[in-house]
């Protein structure tokens, strides 16, 4: 059975066709800089059976990006019998109260997904549009979603509860949801395999640093016990266009003094803040790194971004009573050695000592970049959310009567 996995970030679209249960990649790729202001052109990196290509192309929306991906897959490989998919699986940021685990989505469920937009205003509409397009274009192919906040369901109440009136909390199901759970869970498992240690024996801090969203997760003995992201993905780290942690009173002040309504204020916090608001030339931290010699705002954006991450690492070091492992993952966590180095600089108090040479020369795969005397293992671990999603969907379909024909 072939599963097409679609993983929409706020400014990216990762896609893979994975043959299950052997977990073999047939097609994989990623569209980057989708729908954002950037110094460079958006592009798609595309791999079919080990053959790589890169296409520089304008990608104003995620649906546009997916259409181009479909063209790359099927128009360029018409005669390849292995290139097809039996089902489509999506990473969904927060599926609300309607769905749990890997869940099949029917056309009549689209309205239910719209009810989640107020929680995830940046990701929800993006993923929804792609799911809607798939339901219209591929009516006979089953679609599934896997919620990204599921891994954080065990965060203790003392860390997940907000200091708000309890009647509001109960009425609106308000708590710290946490996000990037699929990524944090996957890199945790990979780190444990790499270190040849059971997850039940380790305390881990995982830094998912993406070109869109970023978060830090505290993991104790295999379970998430805290996340920098809260009820929505807006809380926590400074991101490409999200503000992260702010003084809520300041927003009320801005709204009153500028005559803004809630929707306008939300748009500022989610789409006009973060790296974009400080650097101004781009919302991509990689552009800020390149331009810091010419633009003083670039250096400020980098320092603000790093400082927020260090704050959360310090917080979780205390909560965990010292971590055993510090993980860096996702596009920026993997591809920016300068950011890893800056985050670890001055963290010797917590036993974090990075090997600058190993860090600078990282190429691929999982790598331990900690110094020999570092009390904390510092690992670079590529994430593989798509494989985790394929595994969960295959497991769900294997137990589903309606999927028997596909799996047989």
So which residues are the catalytic ones?
A: 148
CA distance 293 to 288: 9
Residue 354's DSSP bridge partners are: 370
Six token digits for residue 281? 């030339």
- 3-class state of residue 13 by DSSP: strand
Structure tokens at 77: 């490989």
Contact (CB, 8 A) for 348 and 329: no
H/E stretch holding 91: strand 87-92
CA atoms within 13 A on the CB side of 400: 16
Q: Quote the strand ranges of 249-400, DSSP E.
A: 325-329, 367-368, 377-380
Residue 328 sits at φ, ψ, to 5 deg, of: -115, 130
Closest residue by Cα to residue 98 from 89, 90, 108: 108
47: closest CA among 68, 70, 23, 30? 30
């Amino acid at each position: 059975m072939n599963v097409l996995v679609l993983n929409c970030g706020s400014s990216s679209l990762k896609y893979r066709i994975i043959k299950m249960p052997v977990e073999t990649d047939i097609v994989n790729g990623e569209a980057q800089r989708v729908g954002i202001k950037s110094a460079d052109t958006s592009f798609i990196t595309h791999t079919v059976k080990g053959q790589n290509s890169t296409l520089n192309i304008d990608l104003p929306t995620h649906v546009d990006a997916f259409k181009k991906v479909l063209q790359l897959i099927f128009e360029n490989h018409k005669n390849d019998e292995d290139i097809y998919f039996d089902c489509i699986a999506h990473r969904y940021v927060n599926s609300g109260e309607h769905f749990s685990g890997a869940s099949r989505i029917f056309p009549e469920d689209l309205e239910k997904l719209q009810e989640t937009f107020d929680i995830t205003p940046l990701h929800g509409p993006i993923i929804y549009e792609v799911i809607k397009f798939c339901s219209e274009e591929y009516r006979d192919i089953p679609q599934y979603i896997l919620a990204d906040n599921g891994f954080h369901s065990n965060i203790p109440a003392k860390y997940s509860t907000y200091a708000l009136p309890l009647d509001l909390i109960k009425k609106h199901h308000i708590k710290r949801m946490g996000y990037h759970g699929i990524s944090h869970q996957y890199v945790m498992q990979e780190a444990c395999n790499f270190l040849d240690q059971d997850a039940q024996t380790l305390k881990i801090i995982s830094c998912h640093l993406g070109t869109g969203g970023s978060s830090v997760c505290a993991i104790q003995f295999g379970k998430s016990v805290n996340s920098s992201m809260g009820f929505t993905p807006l809380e926590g780290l400074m991101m490409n266009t999200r503000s992260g942690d702010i003084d809520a009173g300041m927003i009320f002040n801005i709204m009153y003094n500028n005559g803004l309504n809630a929707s306008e204020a939300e748009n500022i916090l989610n789409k006009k803040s973060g790296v974009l608001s400080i650097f101004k030339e781009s919302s991509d931290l990689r552009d800020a790194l390149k331009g810091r010699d010419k633009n003083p705002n670039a250096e400020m954006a980098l320092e603000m971004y790093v400082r927020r991450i260090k704050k959360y690492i310090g917080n979780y070091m205390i909560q965990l009573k010292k971590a055993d492992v510090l993980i860096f993952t996702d596009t920026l966590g993997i591809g920016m050695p300068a950011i890893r180095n800056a985050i670890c600089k001055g963290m010797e108090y917590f036993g974090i000592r990075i090997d600058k040479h190993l860090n600078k020369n990282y190429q691929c795969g999982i790598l331990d970049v900690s110094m020999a005397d570092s009390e904390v293992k510092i690992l670079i671990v590529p994430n593989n959310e798509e494989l985790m999603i394929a595994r969960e969907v295959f497991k769900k379909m294997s137990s589903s009567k309606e999927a028997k024909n596909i799996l047989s």
